[in-house]
Amino acid sequence: MTRKRTAILISGRGSNMSALIAAASDAGYPAEIALVGSNRPEAAGLQRAAEAGIPTAIVDHTIYGKDRTAFERALHDVLLQHRIQIICLAGFMRLLSPWFIAQWPNRILNIHPALLPSFKGLDTHRRAIEAGASEHGATVHFVVAEMDSGPVVAQGRVPLFPDDTETALAARVLAVEHRIYPLALKLVASDRVRVDDGRCIVCGAVSAEEATLLPRHPAH
């Protein structure tokens, strides 16, 4: 098995990065974390990656001022230098342009703390509580030009209780994130995911755990 060379892009501590690194420490896992990159030199996750023996790279967006194209071309060049095949965004606080996304079609994964398409954007836990939602969760999806709108690879759900606080709900959702991101990367790196009419279809036999974490498509 040739493991897919994967880059994790972070801007902070990289909580989901740690979950992906742990999963990829298994030699049987189909993805190898070949690079951790950050747009912030002070990102705490860079030290965690270095401790795990993973190469790191910094492409500091501030040195490019408002020239987002120059920043993204520099980032793209670094990814190519490391022969990256899949990108995982893990708290990467930069919106990617259509140009960058087009260089990596269906090869950029992102995790969002909500059950997309509900609660796109920020403050998802507060908004879910205020909306009186009965359940909440997290979504791993392919990145497209429109924010939080790409085909869904995996979702994990948690109940939302009447007396929930943002802190309590966020902790339950984070535990789900740490389960579904390694699963989603595993499926993509195994070439088991194809995108058909904006939906992700998982090929091959699906395990019991996978079945609970795959997106629910409404019936036509």
Q: Among the options 112, 125, 136, 178, which is catalytic?
A: 112
220 as an active site residue: the answer is no
Percentages (nearest 5) of helix, strand, coil residues in the chain: 35, 25, 40
Beta-strand ranges (E) seen in 116-173 are: 135-142, 152-159
Compute the distance between CA of residue 149 and CA of residue 143 in angstroms, rounded to an integer. 7
Per DSSP bridges, beta strands 152-159 and 193-196 are: unpaired
Pairwise CA distance, residues 185 & 115, whole Å: 18
Cα 109 to Cα 101: distance, rounded to the nearest angstrom: 11
Contacts of 25 (CB under 8 A, 6+ apart): 52
Q: Which residues are catalytic?
A: 112
